């Protein structure tokens, strides 16, 4: 990937979103961050094993207090160890670790600054990326659109790692917990890594469903109305076991 090659070449893997904190100001890893890092690495590896990314494309982050733990740039996820903890503050200053954060840090930080997100997952999933090149939003092909807040919008294209892309993404995420990025991929967030990951997996599945249904010659898929999607969203909020 061009973004990975540039990250390794010039050391600016955090794009426009990260700044260094002088070494004396960096701190040791806290217990809750050790646990969060383990979960982050497991989630990042899952994006590869489930076919949502290839190599080190895509990225994952989780917020612990005012610190954002994030996958580093250009490092294969199966090589990440507990010693590779990479963290920044909400202004993008590196406060944990020595590895360069992902080049897509501006998108992650934009979500944390404007929502109550606890985790963010960005992928280059094939079907979702294909849909991003075809339509301004994913048609409401399934009621799981309600889990993301409604019809999934496509953010206009901008170069990876830029504040422009982060701004486009925020507009597409208004009242939503996920969106497509034109000619690029997906981004979703949730209160936990499991929730953020489930949302990106569901989004990829819905994109594959729509592409499959719309490819049948002479037939047009039936779609759900905004009211039906909203109703599904309400019902999904009460889905599952209650403690």
The Cα 13–Cα 9 span in angstroms is: 9
Asked if residue 221 lies in contact with residue 141, where contact means CB atoms within 8 angstroms, the answer is yes
* Rounded alpha-carbon distances, angstroms, from residue 2 to 53, 102, 128, 133: 15, 13, 20, 19
DSSP class of 23:
G
- What does the alpha-carbon distance between residue 168 and residue 190 come to, in Å, rounded to a whole number? 19
Query: Is 104 annotated in the active site?
Result: yes
Output the six-digit token pair for 175: 């009242």
Active-site residue identified among 32, 104, 164, 243: 104
In order, the DSSP letters of 59-76 are EEEEEETTEEEEPBTT--
Judging by DSSP bridges, how do beta strands 178-181 and 152-155 pair with one another? parallel
Is the separation of the CB atoms in 188 and 177 below 8 Å? Answer: yes
Strands (E), the chain: 19-20, 59-64, 67-70, 87-89, 93-96, 119-123, 137-138, 152-155, 178-181, 185-190
Catalytic residues: 104
């Amino acid at each position: 990937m061009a973004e990975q090659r540039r990250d390794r070449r010039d050391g600016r893997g955090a794009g426009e979103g990260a700044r260094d904190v002088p070494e004396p100001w960096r701190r040791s890893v806290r217990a809750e961050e050790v646990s969060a890092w383990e979960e982050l690495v497991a989630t990042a590896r899952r994006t590869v094993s489930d076919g949502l990314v290839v190599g080190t494309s895509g990225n994952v982050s989780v917020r612990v207090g005012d610190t954002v733990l994030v996958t580093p740039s250009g490092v294969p996820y199966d090589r990440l160890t507990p010693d590779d903890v990479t963290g920044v503050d909400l202004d993008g200053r590196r406060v944990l670790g020595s590895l360069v954060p992902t080049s897509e840090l501006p998108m992650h930080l934009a979500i944390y600054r404007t929502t109550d997100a606890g985790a963010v997952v960005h992928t280059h999933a094939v079907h979702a990326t294909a849909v991003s090149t075809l339509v301004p939003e994913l048609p409401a092909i399934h009621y799981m659109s309600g889990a993301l807040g409604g019809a999934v919008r496509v953010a206009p294209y901008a170069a990876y790692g830029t504040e422009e892309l982060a701004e486009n993404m925020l507009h597409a995420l208004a009242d939503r917990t996920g969106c497509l990025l034109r000619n690029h991929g997906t981004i979703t967030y949730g209160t936990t890594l499991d929730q953020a990951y489930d949302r990106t997996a569901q989004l990829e599945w819905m994109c594959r469903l729509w592409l499959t249904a719309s490819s049948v010659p002479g037939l047009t898929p039936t779609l759900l109305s905004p009211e039906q999607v909203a109703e599904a969203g309400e019902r999904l909020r009460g889905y599952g076991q209650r403690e």
